[in-house]
Each structure stands twice: as structure tokens, then as C-alpha cells.
Structure 1
Amino acid sequence: MNQIFDFLFSQYANSSTLDISLEIIAVFFGFLSVWCSKKNNIWVFPTGMISTSIFVYLLLKWGLLGDMMINGYYFAMSVYGWYIWTRKVDASHVTPISRTTSKEKKISILIFFATLIFVYAVYTYFDKWNNWTAYVDTVTTAVFFVGMWLMARRKIENWIYWIIGDLISVPLYWYKGFTFTSIQYFFFIFIAILGYIAWKKNIDNNKSTL
């Protein structure tokens, strides 16, 4: 039993109680946020803002700039998404779940490559190309940037980006030594799959009622 515990949590031996507690709180609200998103519930944004604000602090402290930028971007997109999700498209309906348009697909590609260039510039400026994880971090940042933008616009394709990013993040965070965060992304994979199924059902049901 002790060997299993050491395998999972030995990397926290030199971490402060405050940092460990903050990571657990951030993970909890992260779970809550993704679950609310799966349920198409507006609370996805306030809970997500709590999680991301804590992670911005922790990731800055840990020197993980790409991850920090992801969470800072999440916070900004949460404000934007909160507005989009509550904006009425007519007198009685708010923005519905839908599929991406051709224009939005082009914007998604633009966001992806613009993010790659931006993160590359940041890592170069701070001389952070000292580990292979920096290259993986750059790609996951771009993937998550697109996913968050699509989620804020209530597009079903956001779940595909989350699934891809989560699959990469599980081993990445484990390697970096952040067990709780790695476990969080592991469960995010399943929630994202369920989220895609739920949102697709929502779109199909709306089509049948037209």
C-alpha cells in the first residue's frame, strides 16, 4: 500500500501544504465545471473561473508558462462564454448548441496556428526550450485554446478538442509530477465523451422539433 502511495504522491514530498490544498481545490472546481458543461449548465463558467484562477497562480509558481497561459485564456473565455450562453437570440431563446460553420472552422484553424506561434515566442523569450515537454505543451495549449473558444460559442466540436487535449495531458502532467491534475484530465476524457453524446442528442432533439 505504501509503495502505491509513494508512486502516486511522492512528487509532493517537497510541496507546501498550501500548494497541495490549492491544487486539490482547483481540480475539484475543474471537475465541477466540466460536468456543468456536459449538462449544458451555465455554472460551467463561474466554477471554471475559480479553478483557472487558482491554476494560474500555481502554474506561474511552478514555471509552466504554457499551462499558465491556457488557464489565463480559459478565464477570459469564461467571461466571454458566460455572455454568449446567456445572450438571447430572440425574445425567449438563448444561444443554442450547434455545429461549427465554415467560417468558424477557418477561425479555429487560425486560433490553433496563432497560438502555436505565440507560445513558441513566449518559450523562446523566457528560454524554456529545455525539455521535450515544452514542445508537447505548445501543442496542447493550441488544442485547448480552440476547444475553449468553441465551447464559449456553444459548438459541439469543442468536445473533440477537449478529448484530444485530455489524452495528451494525462501522461504529460504525470511526467511533470502533478498527480492530482493528471487524474483530473483522466476523468475529463470520459466526461468529454459523455458531453459530446449529450450535446449531439440535444442537437438531434432540436432538429426533430422543428
Structure 2
Amino acid sequence: MMFDIWQQIVTAWQAQSTLEVVAVLAAIMYLILAIKENIWCWLFAFISTSLYIYLFHSVSLLSESLLNVYYLLMAVYGWYQWRHGKDQQNRQITSWSVKKHISLIIPTALAVPLLGYAASQYGASMPYLDAFTTCFAVLATVMVAHKVLENWHYWLVINIISVYLFASKSLFLTAAMFALYVVLTVVGYFNWRRHYAAQLA
């Protein structure tokens, strides 16, 4: 039994493309550096998203591919914000009110079926689930660029869903990365919350 499980793991690993391996490693570096509030996280985001644009398109996850085009642009924007933003290079962590979150969640949720339907017309796989992670990742990425504490809450939900989404498309290494992301998201939240509390003090 254990041998069979190990063989499945080895087979899944061998099936991964070199591009996916590099994309995963760069994405993990991005998140680790983001947790540390290190500006170089955006460089690794740029590398990872460049590769994932192609990878997701190749397995018909069209919304995810489009999302990574957005990530690519946001990597440049995020770097600029952290380096030249109005609150200086090391921008302080902020927190949004519940009212502001609701005002952004509602239009984001309404965009999900629209994007899902549009993607389905182009033969996208799992279009509505794909659209859900895409739409809310757009919002969460803006929050990271502006160092909003609650971005980690959004990423926790997105990452959990993404594990299933990518595993179902046999992107096992990427699915494993998102499983790791779930853990790192919790770590990131508590790290940023500690820094936020120190700022208030």
C-alpha cells in the first residue's frame, strides 16, 4: 500500500514540466518574501506569473491564465508602490473597515458568473470555480500591493479552492504549492498582524 502511494508520488513528480517546477519555486519565494515584507517578492512574482500564463493556458484554465497576466502587471505596480508609494519605501500595514470590505466583495462576487460564463464560451475547464479564484485574487492582490492586513483572509479561501482546482487538472506540483500556501497564509497573517500591532503601539 505504502509502495503504491510512493509510486504515485514519484510518477506525479516525473510528470511535472521544468517550467512548472521553476514557476512553483519562484511563487514560493514570492510568498516567503511577501510575508517578510521584502520588496524583492515582486521580482519572483514577475518570474512565476510569466511562466504560469503559458502553463494555465495549456490546460484550458483560461481565467487563471488571464489572472496571471494581471499578476504580471501587478508585480510591477506592487514593486513601485512598496518602493515609491506615498508612505515611503517600507509602507506601513493598514487595515480596512468591514464596510469597505463589503463594498468590494459584492461587485467582485457579481463579476464571478460573468467571467465564468464568458470563459465557458471559449471552452474553459471548470469556468465558474476558476472565475471565483480569479476575481477574488484580483482584489486580494491589490490589497497586498497596498499592504492591507486582511489580504491574508482572502488568500486563505482562494488557496484552499486552488488546491482542488489544480489537482483536478493534474498540475500536482502546483496543487502541492497551494497546499503549502495555505500554511504560509496563516503564518503571513500572524506575522503582519504582529507588525501592525507594533505600528499602533
TM-score normalised by length of structure 1 = 0.84
Contact in 1 for aligned 2:63/2:134 (Cα 8 Å): yes
Residue 146 of structure 1 is matched in structure 2 by 139
Residue 177 of structure 1 is matched in structure 2 by 170
- Paired positions, count: 200
Report SS of the residue matched to 2:164: helix
| Structure 2 gap segments, 5+ residues each | none
> 1:168 and 1:192 mapped to 2: Cα distance?
13
> 2:22 and 2:3 mapped to 1: Cα distance?
24
Identity %: 25
User: Structure 1, residues 28-84: CA drift from partner, whole Å, max 9, x if none?
Assistant: 000000000111110110101100100101111222101111211111111111111
Residue 200 of structure 2 is matched in structure 1 by 207
Mean Cα displacement is larger for which, 194-203 or 96-105?
A: 96-105
Residue 21 of structure 1 is matched in structure 2 by 18
Residue 46 of structure 1 is matched in structure 2 by 43
| Structure 1 gap segments, 5+ residues each | none
Contact in 2 for aligned 1:29/1:47 (Cα 8 Å): yes
Residue 93 of structure 2 is matched in structure 1 by 97
Root-mean-square deviation (Å): 2.4
> 2:135 and 2:193 mapped to 1: Cα distance?
24
Report SS of the residue matched to 1:176: coil
Residue 119 of structure 1 is matched in structure 2 by 115
Residue 59 of structure 1 is matched in structure 2 by 56
TM-score normalised by length of structure 2 = 0.87
Report SS of the residue matched to 2:116: helix
TM superposition shift of 1:121:
4.5
> 2:26 and 2:170 mapped to 1: Cα distance?
20
